[in-house]
Amino acid sequence: MGNEAQPQDATASVDFQEVQQTERFKTLRKRHRSFVFPMAVVFLLWYFAYVLLAAYAVEFMSTKVWGNINVGLILGLLQFVTTFGITAWYVNYSNKKLDPIAADIRNEIEGHEFDKDGNVISGVNK
């Protein structure tokens, strides 16, 4: 650990409270919340509906659909499918609606241009 030059922290002098007051950051926060909160409510309602059905509608949940496959098993597996579906939907939403704004904000804060993989493009400093 000799006299190696330490890289300058690009965010050390950033006023993050000021950044949070910009329109781009407010847009980013609004878009994020407009997806996450409603989706969380919908998924929790779906989850608790399953739990309540399992606890209080035992006859319905044990209704055979095909062989030993019953309604409860199908709805339980749909919980997993729903989780993966929501995750895929969020990744797609984030890539299209959130990441471009976040990259712009990051670029402004750090003062660098980045390629699609998030690497600093050489020779580009503001």
32-59 pLDDT, tens per residue? 999 999 999 999 999 999 999 999 999 9
Given a contact cutoff of 8 angstroms between Cβ atoms, the answer to whether 17 and 25 are in contact is: no
Collapse the DSSP code of 75 into the 3-class scheme (helix H, G, I; strand E, B; otherwise coil) and give the result: helix
Separation of CA 65 from chain center: 35
In this prediction, residues 16-23 reach a mean pLDDT of 86
Q: For the full predicted model, state whether its pTM sits above 0.75.
A: no
For residue 4, pLDDT beyond 60: no
